[in-house]
Structure 1
Amino acid sequence: MIINKFFKSNQFVFDLFLEGKIASLYTSKVSNALTKKTIHTINSFGITPIKRVFIAKDIPEYLNIKLNNQNTLKARKVNQYKGYLVNLLNYATVEDYLKENLSRRNRKNLFSKQRKLERNHKITNKVYFGNIDKSSFESIFNSFYDLLKKRFQEKKAHNRYLASWESLKTLAYKSILEKDASLHIIFDNGTPITITLNFHRSDVVFSHIQTYDTNYTSYNMGDISMLNHLKWCFENGISIFDLAIGKSDYKDKWCNYEYDFFYHIHYNNKSVISKIIAKIVFWELKILKSLRDRNIIGNLINFDKILYLIKKC
């Protein structure tokens, strides 16, 4: 069932958070329903007239968006994935958030691992936001690539970002200088052991890619990195730290808000063929969602692991 793959589409969440762009099917005004703040965007590309179907993928439920008035166009909406975020609006400090959302046992374990890491290694933390020299950036991004590649080789899974690394690197450097992105790094004696690339829109930080050196697995580096992130969010007036698509024990532990990602299937209401295709795509996506919910797709059938094996052959 791959009918939806044959039609033009875009990934709304990446266009918005990585580049501040939005398809001309929507008005340029986007607001955050959780914080009531506006996310400034530009209408980046026109995709009309639609003769058959256009699919806007991965639209976070907590964003308010509006369709442009186009009489011939209609949209069917279907939810596909769960998203997870940290909502800091009702907390004054990181300590308040930890007390309410992590168990006493988890908090004790977190600080114990952090102390052990700092006792056994020469640990420093750095956030690049608004300023980074080119040579440092190149060195960090080379380490980023190596750590990410190693991590997914160990998982025996395909990672889509590695294939387009150079274009991501170009975007990240420009965005960091413009304060539209940040690099959060934990170093051991000057060597990166945890790296996270985030993108920023208004009071939302969107966690795009993170990885760590698996030699440090025993320290629960993801938890230590998250603690550093939350401290930085409070210091910089960030309300939402969005960890995006995908359920995991890590997100269950740290996130306090769950939401849906929607697909919008745009079609020409004056075309019978367009309406039929839109209906077929709608039901295909409903079936795929059902298979994911039953862990048939993602567990029994894991496309990233299948792609890894295919590319290795």
Structure 2
Amino acid sequence: MSKKNKIPIFPVLFRTPEINHLYESIEYFGTSIKNKTNSECAKNNIFTFRLVPEYFKLNLRDTSFKSKIIPQYNWGYSILLNDSDSIEGYMQRQFNSKKRNILTRYVKRLELCFNIKYNMFYGEMPPADYDFIMQSLYDMIIARFEERNETHKNLYEWQTLAEDTYEKILNKEASLFVIYNEDEPIEISLNYHYDKVLFSYISSFKIDYSKFGLGHVEIYKQIEWCANNGYKLFEMGVGGMDYKRRWSNNIYRYNYHLTYNGASLLTSYKARISGTKLKLKEYLKSKKINEILPLINNYLTPKRKNSSNIVASEIRPIDGLDLKGFKELSLLNNDSFLLKKHVYSFLYTTITHSNDIKIYKNNSENLFIVKSAAQYQKITLNV
């Protein structure tokens, strides 16, 4: 009796017993990776590998096995680097001067406004740092998706990720890329590694810093890391978000690989039925049938209301500013914490370092002022 095995390629990236058993080697962009394991797998099983990027070629070991490739209605986005590439070289090829200036401005502005550090944890990482970073990533995801009134698609597997990823980092099968402001993580990306492919699986950032385009900064810095370490691909995976399209020079389609024992008539027949079902599924997906239920659920889900209404005035010159009735606050004060997003937006717009501003509050009017040496902005908090 045949057994169906449905196995996603991402995030395991070909590191499964089934892949090693079935395929002698895997090829991509002129590179061939030999699989070491050559043990037997169940002859009557039907293996369905989904989300296999079309640029990967999987070479079977056993000539009695067959593999049907069924296109999926999913597109992937990645950055293909040259052997002697650099971040500057890639951006020169990918973007015109205007777009290059916009993207590099995010990096420069972030570093001008804060004391920024970058760290790639790969091969080694103190356990306490791991626990702290993973908890920080989880908190960022929750906060960001609550703001969007959505649920992150990977939260169902979070416990497994938290338990399994540390060992993968030590084995250089995974990494955590972190952007810090001082010692505060403000953007984190959980990555998986396969040969010279870096796959950004889950990333998020602190919503207070949204003005600074941290998603673009993360991509910029991870491409830089890939180029410096001889990587061929920076993978951003499935989903055609605008920022992925903007950065990608290698847009591809995903495939199912339906692999089975072609010497067995019964298994071949069942594989044919499985293939027909997968084709029907992808046809319905192409007609957007799969989007109907999420739209209904989104419509029926009660929308969260903002707990506060914050209004920021335009930024003005410091001349004539009267601080009578105001008291100075720390940015870490509970009241000013609600204003961080507006304070950081002020830093971005005025190109001011966070050490060079002051925050004041007028209790009677619930009015805040953030000021630099030359400019200020009034912020009203209506709870």
TM-score, normalised by the number of residues in structure 2: 0.68
Contact 1:101 1:256 in 2 (8 A): yes
1:74 — aligned with what?
66
Q: 2-side partners of 1:295 and 1:41: how far apart?
A: 38
> Is the partner of 1:281 in helix, strand or coil?
helix
* Larger Cα-atom Rg: 2
Structure 1 residues 279-313: Cα deviation after superposition (integer angstroms, max 9, x where no partner): 34323322333343444434x5548966x96xxxx
Q: 2-side partners of 1:303 and 1:159: how far apart?
A: 15
Q: 2:26 aligns with which of 26, 30, 51?
A: 30
1:224 — aligned with what?
217
Residues 23 and 90 (structure 1), Cα distance of their counterparts in 2 relative to 1, 3 Å cut = closer
Contact 1:141 1:169 in 2 (8 A): yes
Residues 1:107 and 2:100 aligned together: yes
Contact 1:268 1:274 in 2 (8 A): yes
1:128 — aligned with what?
121
Q: 1:145 aligns with which of 134, 138, 141?
A: 138
Residues 1:15 and 2:12 aligned together: yes
Contact 1:16 1:41 in 2 (8 A): no
1:97 — aligned with what?
90
Give the deviation of 1:68 after TM superposition. Answer: 2.8
Give the deviation of 1:149 after TM superposition. Answer: 2.4
Give the deviation of 1:20 after TM superposition. Answer: 6.2
1:178 — aligned with what?
171
Residues 1:208 and 2:201 aligned together: yes
Letter in 1 for 2:12: D
1:242 — aligned with what?
235
Structure 1 residues 262-290: Cα deviation after superposition (integer angstroms, max 9, x where no partner): 11223454666644543343233223333
Give the deviation of 1:126 after TM superposition. Answer: 1.3
Q: 1-side partners of 2:243 and 2:41: how far apart?
A: 38
Q: 2-side partners of 1:163 and 1:45: how far apart?
A: 33
Residues 302 and 228 (structure 1), Cα distance of their counterparts in 2 relative to 1, 3 Å cut = same
Residues 1:257 and 2:250 aligned together: yes
Residues 260 and 305 (structure 1), Cα distance of their counterparts in 2 relative to 1, 3 Å cut = farther
Residues 1:283 and 2:279 aligned together: no
> Is the partner of 1:23 in helix, strand or coil?
helix
Q: 1:48 aligns with which of 38, 42, 46?
A: 42
Residues 41 and 70 (structure 1), Cα distance of their counterparts in 2 relative to 1, 3 Å cut = closer
Give the deviation of 1:143 after TM superposition. Answer: 0.4
Structure number having the greater helix percentage: 1
Q: 1-side partners of 2:39 and 2:184: how far apart?
A: 41
Letter in 2 for 1:69: D
Q: 2-side partners of 1:137 and 1:25: how far apart?
A: 33
Q: 2-side partners of 1:123 and 1:208: how far apart?
A: 23
1:86 — aligned with what?
79
> Is the partner of 1:169 in helix, strand or coil?
helix
2:186 — aligned with what?
193
Letter in 2 for 1:101: Q
Q: 2-side partners of 1:137 and 1:181: how far apart?
A: 12
Give the deviation of 1:122 after TM superposition. Answer: 2.8
Give the deviation of 1:139 after TM superposition. Answer: 0.6
Residues 20 and 87 (structure 1), Cα distance of their counterparts in 2 relative to 1, 3 Å cut = farther
CA root-mean-square deviation: 3.0
Contact 1:22 1:42 in 2 (8 A): no
Letter in 2 for 1:131: E
TM-score, normalised by the number of residues in structure 1: 0.82
Give the deviation of 1:156 after TM superposition. Answer: 3.8
Unaligned runs of 5+ in 2: 302-383
Letter in 2 for 1:245: V
Contact 1:22 1:28 in 2 (8 A): no
Q: 2-side partners of 1:276 and 1:303: how far apart?
A: 37
> Is the partner of 2:203 in helix, strand or coil?
strand
Contact 1:78 1:282 in 2 (8 A): yes
Structure 1 residues 135-177: Cα deviation after superposition (integer angstroms, max 9, x where no partner): 1111111101111222333344443432332332233211222
Following superposition of structure 1 onto structure 2, how do residues 57-68 of structure 1 map, counting pairs within 5 Å?
57-68=50-61
2:259 — aligned with what?
266
> Is the partner of 1:66 in helix, strand or coil?
strand
